[in-house]
Structure 1
Amino acid sequence: MSAHAMKMLNTLLPALVAVFSASTFAGEAQIELKEGAGRDTVMANCAMCHSIDYIQMNSLFMKRTDWQATVDKMVNVMGAPISQDDISVILDYLTTYYGVE
């Protein structure tokens, strides 16, 4: 990459990041998880790594076994530091408020 191209990239990249970040935070403020037992545990453990909109988007087709597989992947593959006690609370919450029969 040429020096001129690198300079343009270094100039534009921070601006692009700021624009996309601002739009993400603006949209995120409108998303609320349903009130219920376990909501705070979900927020504390899940929102530390990703947006909570994933929960709502996936809720259209997720059964308890699907939520279990997802939480297992977050812990075992992605390295999420979630305790066993919190896992059961998270699964109960997700199944109750964002699960399908």
Structure 2
Amino acid sequence: MRMLVQAVRPIACVLFFSNLAFAGPRSYALPEEKTAFRPGPGVEAAQNSCLSCHSADYISTQPPQLGPKFWESVVSKMVKAYHAPISETDLKVIVEYLSRTY
């Protein structure tokens, strides 16, 4: 068995490294944005914070008029569970924006 492994190892190495020669960067076409944040006070904070992880579709598909408690829980979850880098100041601005606009 040991002789078999020793015989196959050089062949496996040659195949592995020869395949690397053909490897190249891949390009992917991202889907076209279908939804944008609605204009309003705080839209910049929402765009800067939210769009780094998900599209505006995530917000626009929520039922309307859910209120500040709902949006605060959602944005807080993004910070605590998903480690979204949102400051306390921006969190409040985003919650106010989402509560007023959606």
Q: TM-score range by the shorter chain?
A: 0.5 to 0.7
Higher percent of residues as helix: 1
Gaps of 5+ in 1: 1-13
Distance 1:50 1:33 in 2: 12
Q: Alpha carbon RMSD of aligned pairs, Å?
A: 1.8
Distance 1:96 1:83 in 2: 20
Paired position in structure 2 for 1:88: 92
Larger relative contact order (Cα-Cα within 8 Å, sequence gap ≥ 6): 1
The Cα shift of 1:88 comes to: 0.6
With normalisation by structure 1, the TM-score equals 0.68
Deviation string 1:3-49 (CA, Å, 9 cap, x unpaired) is xxxxxxxxxxx8xx94xx54x2x2x1x31211111001000000000
- Local SS of the residue matching 2:61: helix
Amino acid at match of 2:86: I
Decide which structure has the larger Cα Rg and report it.
2
Paired position in structure 1 for 2:77: 73
The Cα shift of 1:62 comes to: 2.1
Alpha carbons of structure 1 residues 37 and 95: separation in structure 2 relative to 1, 3 Å: same
Paired position in structure 2 for 1:33: 37
* Deviation larger for 53-62 or 35-44: 53-62
Amino acid at match of 2:73: A
